[in-house]
Structure 1
Amino acid sequence: MTEPTSIEIIPDITEMNVAERLHKVGQDAITWLDTHTAEILIGLGFAAIIVLVMVGLRRYGRRWYERNTSLETWQSVVGRTMAKTRTWFMIALALEVVAVFSDAPGLIARSIGFLFSIAMVVQSAIWARSIILGFVEHRTRTDESSSEALGSAMKLIRVLVTFGVVAIAGIVVLDNLNVDVTGLVAGLGIGGIAIGLAAQGIFSDLFAALSIIFDKPFKVGDAVHYDGTFATVEQIGLKSTRLRAVTGEEVIISNTNLLDKEIMNLTRLNRRRVTFNVGVIYQTPPEKARRVPDILRDIINAEGHTFIRSGFTGFGASSLDYELQFDVQSANYEVVYNARHAIGIAIFQRFAEEGLEFAYPTQTTFTAAPDGEMIMPYPEGGWGASGDS
């Protein structure tokens, strides 16, 4: 006779553990509420004050931003960032304050702390992105030409900033979840190096364009000089800058190559200095030669320009040499060109009135007899004057 086989029913341990854990959490929560009522109320009071302050700051930030949406002032940049404070972050912050003040049970405290950490990381990423983009936009909104130049690069900048901020925030969140992020960080690093090497030229010109926009060595419409080229800036692009040479050609040069050169910005001159070299003949009487600097000074003052200096510089091969320096108070080269012309004509006219002769290359030949006595190179009275047939 066989004994009946008994079937043992094994309970689901996982479900039982979850149910027991939930029951325990409920019991702990009820006990916590009963024994820490005062602390919870105090924590709620502090949390309410903090939330009200943050709501007020968000409202004021939104008003600051709406007054100047073009981000021309730092106040509008900060205001836009404050306006991006999220409600769920305030709720998570309030829960964290209550948990800290009321000494919440372990599991509840850990859960609230975890949610607050996630909320803090995400909110910080939102603030960081807003600040970085606001800084870039603020620096470019102050100049129309710079803003236009950055228009083509702004989308790429937003993508790069967003990717960088999200990547950092994601790594921090995963680390809080106790996920090993070593491999992820290494992969991102290797990927970043590969992308950087592949697009080295593009990024180099992009950062050079940003350097031009931020540092502002020149802007659209400025006249610049580099490597013997005189040109006017017509467009500052993402990769290259276009200039119009004074001879009419369009010059296209990469931003990186342009910044490697020594650039002279001629538009920002508040004055231009002009130098004249003047020479008079050696037969000029010393009294008149001594008066030449004063004559030049009178000419400059009469024309309404700024006299700098004038004086004797040396004995030339065919002249007594003088130098004149004066400033024309204008950045416009056309004005300087006309002023130089007027000064030159005035010097020519005044020297004629004073009896001063301009020197020009001359050569005097002396002839001598074998004994060294100076003689005329031709018969006295000219050839044929002696009556010789």
Structure 2
Amino acid sequence: MGDSLAWITQDSGEVLFGAAIAAALFAALWLVKRAVLRLLPAELGGGPSVLRAMAARTLTLFLIAVALDGATHAVAPSGPLLRLVDNLFTIALAVQGALWLRELVLGLVRRRADANPEDARAVGSAIGVITVLVNVVVWLLAAILILDNLGVNVTALVAGLGVGGIAIGLAAQGIFSDLFAALAILFDRPFRVGDVISYGTSTGTVEHIGLKTTRIRSLSGEQLVMANTKLLDQQVANLRRIEERRVVLNFGIVYQTPPDVLDALPGHLQAIVAAQSDCRFDRAAFTGFGPSSLDFELMFFVTVPDVDVMLAARQAVGFAMVRRFAELGVAFAYPTQTSFTAAPGGQLIDPTQITERPR
């Protein structure tokens, strides 16, 4: 400390030069911060500006530490004073870095959340949990960095934190699994509140996405509660995002149908589908020889995703097929069996011609 006082009293000109440099650097950095806050809008790209938030969280203490550190490179202060400035810069840099990292992560999360306001309650809960986790991580890193630069042996501390973290993770792995699954649902958006989803053998409307479970109102009325991890482990079909619905009608006609009528049948089916609104014909084709029918398949798309529109279109096409087939004289097939009577030699016998054997 005596060396520092001696340098200040004996080299006053150099001290004033260093102070002027520090003041100039601080003023320049402060003006840059004000310019960034003035030029960057509060909202950017449909969400809060992350860069502006980071600039707003820049501490004056950090600007002072940067200015003093810059000034010490221009002048030659004594050893103790130089170490003091270096330690101040290290502490300020660690604290400022933690604040910047926190604002960056939370700002990106908030932008993602603001893009989907429908799940505001669940997203708010998720942001609260993420904030706690981010605060713990960034301030632990800042504390370790500060202690390490101050000469403290942090190896044992880091090892202890690692062992403790593993123990906590193993003890609460189920909770953390559901938590991260909830975050995946909220930010990856495979579905959201109000969507109709199908998974396993269940179908229902998503009512709430929580941090551990998702609640779904099934078609039969009851509420299903699924753990987020188990839900994401399955194949989930989001029925709300259907753009168009495919309808497949399989039917059979009798073997007695004339060949020319069979040839014209796909064209009649295409005309039936084309006559319906919101329907797009795909194909109509013969698929095989059934036990008691000539089998056909009609496929078309309903271009409106509403399930009620699809059901109405399928009904309209089916009824139109019945009417058109009646006009063409085409009969729908149904399971039948025909029995033939034969003589011992294999010749077919007409049962109506058999007379009763005389007694």
TM-score (normalised: structure 2): 0.93
Q: Does residue 132 of structure 2 align to residue 153 of structure 1?
A: no
Partner of 1:356, secondary structure, is: coil
Letter in 2 for 1:282: Y
| Cα distance, 1:42–1:92 mapped onto 2, change above 3 Å | closer
Deviations 1:130-170 (A, max 9, x none): 11111222212211233322223332222221111111111
| Cα distance, 1:313–1:213 mapped onto 2, change above 3 Å | same
1:294 to 259, 267, 285: 267
Aligned mates of 1:367, 1:103 — CA distance in 2: 122
Deviations 1:341-366 (A, max 9, x none): 11111111111111111111111111
Q: Does residue 206 of structure 2 align to residue 227 of structure 1?
A: no
Q: How far is 1:98 from its partner? A: 1.4
Aligned mates of 1:36, 1:76 — CA distance in 2: 41
1:333 to 302, 307, 331: 307
2:340 to 342, 366, 370: 366
| Cα distance, 1:35–1:166 mapped onto 2, change above 3 Å | closer
1:165 to 138, 155, 166: 138
Aligned mates of 1:131, 1:138 — CA distance in 2: 11
Question: CA RMSD, aligned part only?
Answer: 2.2
Identity percentage over the alignment?
A: 44
Question: In the alignment, which residue of structure 2 is the partner of 1:129?
Answer: 102
Q: Does residue 55 of structure 2 align to residue 82 of structure 1?
A: yes
> Are the equivalent residues in 1 in contact too, given 2:292–2:333 (CA < 8 A)?
yes
Partner of 2:184, secondary structure, is: helix
Question: In the alignment, which residue of structure 1 is the partner of 2:92?
Answer: 119
Letter in 2 for 1:27: A
| Cα distance, 1:154–1:40 mapped onto 2, change above 3 Å | closer
Aligned mates of 1:95, 1:246 — CA distance in 2: 68
Aligned mates of 1:153, 1:40 — CA distance in 2: 47
Q: Which has the greater radius of gyration?
A: 1
| Cα distance, 1:141–1:58 mapped onto 2, change above 3 Å | same
| Cα distance, 1:162–1:298 mapped onto 2, change above 3 Å | same
Question: In the alignment, which residue of structure 2 is the partner of 1:253?
Answer: 226
Letter in 2 for 1:271: E
> Are the equivalent residues in 2 in contact too, given 1:277–1:323 (CA < 8 A)?
yes
Aligned mates of 2:213, 2:148 — CA distance in 1: 42
Q: How far is 1:42 from its partner? A: 4.9
> Are the equivalent residues in 2 in contact too, given 1:224–1:266 (CA < 8 A)?
yes
Q: How far is 1:122 from its partner? A: 0.4
> Are the equivalent residues in 1 in contact too, given 2:4–2:79 (CA < 8 A)?
no
Q: Does residue 337 of structure 2 align to residue 342 of structure 1?
A: no
TM-score (normalised: structure 1): 0.86
Deviations 1:314-352 (A, max 9, x none): 111111111111000122111111111111111111111
Deviations 1:96-137 (A, max 9, x none): 111112233322222111111111110111111111111222
1:352 to 311, 321, 326: 326
Aligned mates of 1:44, 1:33 — CA distance in 2: 16
Partner of 2:333, secondary structure, is: coil
Question: In the alignment, which residue of structure 2 is the partner of 1:28?
Answer: 7
1:277 to 226, 250, 255: 250
Aligned mates of 1:188, 1:376 — CA distance in 2: 96
